Structure 1
Amino acid sequence: MRTRSRPAPRASSRITNMSRATRWAGQAAAAAILGVLAGCASAPRSGPPTRNPDDAAGAAVRPERSAPSGPTVTRPAARWVGVEWSELPGWSGEWLRDWFPAFRRGCSRPAPAWQGVCAAALLDGVADLDAAAARQWLQQRLQPFRVESLDGNADGMVTGYYEPLLEASRVRRPGYEVPIYAPPVGSRTTWTRREIDTLPPAQTGLGGREIAWLRDRLDALVLQIQGSGRLAITEADGSRRVVRVAFAAHNNQPYQSVGRWLIDRGELTLARASWPGIKDWARRNPQRVDEMMWSNPRVVFFREEALPDPSVGPRGAAGVPLTPGRSIAVDPRSVPYGTPVWLDTTEPLSNNPLRRLVVAQDTGTAIVGAVRADYFWGWGDAAEASAGRMKQRLRMWVLWPLDDSPF
């Protein structure tokens, strides 16, 4: 998957038709209003996490505290500091044509603050603007804010996730003996992963709720961590088709990272605690796979969905399909759904700069904090390779409509 920005002519770093003094004055007024509202603002819209990304290392990053550049806006888990466009590293070289479709999908259900910008974005021709004109279009309508923790730390971490494609069977047969379940009927399930694997009452309670059978327990764990996936499924009559399974519920147990479990026991180093490293450990220690799996008591249940268009990603917590390379999961207490976010990080395999505009369209149990994102890579082998190794330092900026308070 291409993730590096294409070169493009440099665009103005100023916002047309608005002087710097006027812009800061307007944003300062918004910040003053926000200081009153922050204590009584309603909680962000909640939705089921589409996966529980295995933040195996929980890697710390070097703290970096930034001096405020402009008006400061306080959200429940972050502060936003107004900046000039010139602060966004790589902005002048961004190629935005494949970003607009992701943003326009979110405009199908815009938050009140975004109604004006979305109405303009949905007009014919906007998505066909060249790179310089697209940047100018955004600069005329949006104000960048640097995202920091409440104590001013501008450094954070980005991980990656993807949609697995797994071989499956509709019926249990040799080689396909690991079930994935629809939610049980009529009860609030609290059985742990170990109890589901070993206790007859739990197995009886889930009997008949099998959607399909997988080859490997680690495949099932990956599917549950990512929260959705595609099954190349062999039906009972021998026919094959590809379906999607999406998050439906979980067993009301806490999520625990199996990567962290391995690190804490000295089985893997911090550097090796990627998903490929975890799978390699499991291959070398088959007698301890149960122990590793049961360290994470949470089990995710799924619902099956048709897959009429294989080019469309799963729906995120914001309720819109995710776009590979242009959608991220965030902590909605830091960044509201639907917000454009500028990322400054590196690619996991090449360590080349990864600087691009994305949209906050998802969340997840492990995605907590101000400067924290999970980058959606898409599906397929390349997406799996990048997502499984992504654990990079991150800085990020949000873009917010000029004519609206950031709340």
Structure 2
Amino acid sequence: MPRLPNDLLSYIVEAVDDPKTQWVLLTTCRGTSRFALTAIYRELSFDSRNAPSSYVTRDPKYMISLEKLSLGAETNPNLRFTFSFNFFSYTSSDLGDRCLRALLPFLVNLQRLAINSPYVDPETLGLLSPTAKLTHLILGSTNYSPSFVEFVESHKNLYRLSVYQFRAPLESEEHPYNATISPTAVPNIYSLKCPIRTIKRFGHRPSITDVCFTTAWNQRHTPFPEETKDEIVKAFPSVRAAHFPEPYDFPGIVWLSLRLSNLEYLRLDIDGVTTPLDWNLLSGTKLKYIQLFGDVMPLGEPEEVSRSIFDAIGTMVVVDMTEDSEERLRRFYRRSKKGFLVEISTSQWQPWWETVQTDIDEACLHDRDSFVS
């Protein structure tokens, strides 16, 4: 290999996205190995979706790799290069939690953290190095508790916060939702995903491992207390994009949408909805974009649904409805009579609204120019 300047060599190696190529560069020569090592550690992902054996083996490969990494975390200087960390596991073993507790204190420059597991303890999150400046936090399931609030408030650079499910607190907790996020704690939150109902087990008091095994027939959903919804509104005044996942609660969604004064993008999971929705309830919002994800037919024909949304919400610019997958959508503009198919590609770190923002801005300009002419 010609003797290239280190800056140029670093740029070339770090531009490589393919893991196999990165490993080749790691073993080619000393000149490339140093920069390849940095690139490999930048994005750490341990994902059961890429490990089909995870259901039939006790220790799938991705967990074995995670455990090996965690055992050497204290003496591994390369962890300082980690910018993104993703852990996705369907298993209920506490091995994942032990590994996370060992690793998080050494991810000193982490900016994007995703833990999609049956449950992550807020106190485990609190072990993350205080020097980490999180911009993205994605959680599968956790507990809305003082520990969770303390963790969120300690990361003022948060831009995207996503929690799919809040576990109901233990019955023994005297004030289960006695936690308040300060309105000035995370001023840069743009994108918010959180449920407005919690999962709660029937029967005996749940522990962490008990919650991991919950299934559809032994769960019940309890609404968040009204005061907690009010705290969400106070804590995230900067939110412009919101996603409230199932179980579906349209009155709760309306309540929050009307009070989040900067809200412009709204995604609704409509699976399980069997009757048309009263879109007029959202007429007081500033919504520009609605994405309906799921089976839209119980709400009516797509053209009828889009027209009722445009008629009800004067600021609405674009309505998208899923066609046959999350990537294929049927799009409607205010003046379009029929929708047309569009494809959007998203990654874990790219929120659902980001790929349509340019189209919405262009549609706003087109409507303005049409009005002027």
TM-score when scaled to structure 1?
0.22
Greater strand proportion: 1
**Larger RCO of the pair (alpha carbons < 8 Å, separation 6+):** 1
Q: Which has the higher helix share?
A: 2
| TM, length-normalised to structure 2 | 0.23
